[in-house]
Structure 1
């Protein structure tokens, strides 16, 4: 019996047909069998329409939202997020030659130059702890430096004087599938826009702006309030794999039907999709290992802090005891000196008494 998505999209295959194709190809079979059971099930579920595809998977996101081939999609999404009309002028290299991340260059997800020559970086993060505010600030600084280098070079080539007023805004937009803990303190908010400003209200164009989008918060709000706006529709498309919600989305906003059709057309290329999925699993493994390392380091740091605190407390107690002993020693020394003085006085008196006796 066809499931909800199979009824909606005729090009979705059955589980039996998909497994038969995988079994008939040695390379695909080896890849499939190398996955853990839960990932085998996940792959079968989204390819056969039991669940929707996770559009935020890096490979799918870049395929469906490719600013080179379908710029209008990302333009519409960014226009809704940034609350201004966005037009993409060109796509820039993802690798940054300016900020090095240890042994390799920083690689951003999608970097674009807008029609007004502003720059925007769109990041998709599954584990929020991997992209804290500090990293967002570094990526934003990188965008600003890229623009600075380009503008200076262009001015030099055209024999024009460089002016900092030629610099345009840079935008850093981050989608979190699972957001960092601080976002959970604002459960009723699913988009946080940020820009630098003075404490007096003085307006200075400091160029760097951000949009943080915790999609886990959005999903909770969606289940309570439904799809209310076009931005809600986009975030539903990006973050929901429940077939019932996908049905509601394409009923309310039919444009998304085409996007899902493209996804399921892509799923017909089983070997390509398996390769894309394998890359996602490798990235997930790397992130999980890094998360475990970071957690272990946090525990070690906390244990060291507790040990240092205990040692400091012990040293303080010992110092206090040493001070008390020193005070007692001083008191004993003083008492000894008094006794010595009294003994000398006694001896003096004895001598005087003996002298008196001798006279008599």
Structure 2
């Protein structure tokens, strides 16, 4: 942000003439700026190491984190890039025309969990791309809710669109909605023995009738994809994009550029950030904040699930005890009845012997 007469206290962003090549040089440069050095020192050891590896050119950015992903696929500058990525994933030609505001999400309280990126296509379809660092519970239910949110957005827009009165609305105007979820750590129920890493789904009927159900789903298991040797991967645009999201070392990046030269401008943009430590720190802070929020949400969900299970177990135990008491009472009454019957039979036998 440039200094202006209207904002005299604003300072220009920190931009280095050349990136740092060593950890020592990086540390020396950061010490010269108290704000940057303080932010660097407040990072834990793991994240301090990852940031240092990037700024010194040893590793690329972790592109599966939301701010870095949006940096690469920023539709204001790279609309075609986002369109190509989504097209390769869905296997159909997609043209992104706008990215929808996250503030418009209709699912209250879930805005930091749902939808890393929501976009509208040329034909009116809506696409959600979400990257989950860890697999949350109930992934199917979550995706269904995401699709419902997207459909409701579209429904409202179509009803309000120019030239449509409420009476002119037709459900035939509803276009497909696509939910794409990329798991970095796949949940057990999504792992198959054949190592399939991409799954497509939609609503179907057991009788084979065909109705236009607009929800479309795509699940990508990035960790399963990483387990496949590079030489075994099909050389295609889809593989290239997933490799871009998976690759961190410069050696792997160089190999990727040799096979897919069109990725080179992306890596050049990433490399240019090494001269802009302040911008990188801002993105890193946002990534860590988002991760902390999601981790907290995940932990709360797991604890709530544990509490619910314990409550259910307690109810079952109490019910079993009640049933056990009832059964014991029934047995006691049966035993008492049996004893009375035995006594009666013995009396009758005794009378029979005396006749």
- Give the TM-score normalised by structure 2: 0.84
**Pair 1:194 & 2:201 matched:** yes
Q: Note closer, same or farther for the CA distance 1:94–1:107 as it changes in structure 2 (3 Å cut).
A: farther
Q: Which residue number corresponds to residue 37 of structure 1?
A: 45
User: Which residue number in structure 1 is paired with residue 275 of structure 2?
Assistant: 268
Q: Deviations over 1:86-106 (max 9, x none)?
A: 11122221233532236x687
1:24 offset after TM fit, Å? 1.6
Give, in whole Å, the separation in 2 of the partners of 1:314 and 1:221: 52
* Matched position secondary structure for 1:238: helix
Partner of 2:34: 26
Q: Quickly say closer, same or farther: Cα 1:138–1:223, change in 2 above 3 A.
A: same
Q: Report the more deviating stretch, 76-85 or 107-116.
A: 107-116
Aligned pairs for 1:1-360 within 5 A:
13-101=21-109, 108-129=115-136, 132-154=139-161, 157=164, 161-223=168-230, 225-226=232-233, 228-332=235-339
Deviations 1:122-141 (A, max 9, x none): 11211121671211111111
Q: Is the 8 A contact 2:159 2:166 kept in 1?
A: no
Query: Would the aligned equivalents of 2:129 and 2:181 in 1 still touch at CA under 8 Å?
Result: yes
Q: Which protein, 1 or 2, shows the higher relative CO under an 8 Å CA cutoff with sep ≥ 6?
A: 2
Deviates more, 1:137-146 or 1:266-275: 266-275
Cα offset, 1:16, TM superposition: 2.4
Secondary structure at the residue paired with 2:77? coil
Q: Deviations over 1:285-315 (max 9, x none)?
A: 2333333333333333344444444433333
Relative to structure 1, the CA distance from residue 238 to residue 131 in structure 2 (aligned partners, 3 Å threshold; closer, same or farther) is farther
CA distance in 2, matches of 1:255, 1:274: 28
- Larger C-alpha radius of gyration, 1 or 2? 1
Asked whether the equivalents of residues 168 and 207 of structure 1 are also in contact (C-alpha less than 8 Å), the reply is yes
Corresponding residue pairs, total: 335
Moved more, 291-300 or 46-55: 291-300
Match in the other structure for 2:13: none
Structure 2, unaligned stretches of length 5 or more? 1-17
| Structure with the higher fraction of residues in helix conformation | 1
SS of structure 2 residue aligned to 1:171: strand
CA shift in 2, pair 1:12/1:205, >3 Å: farther
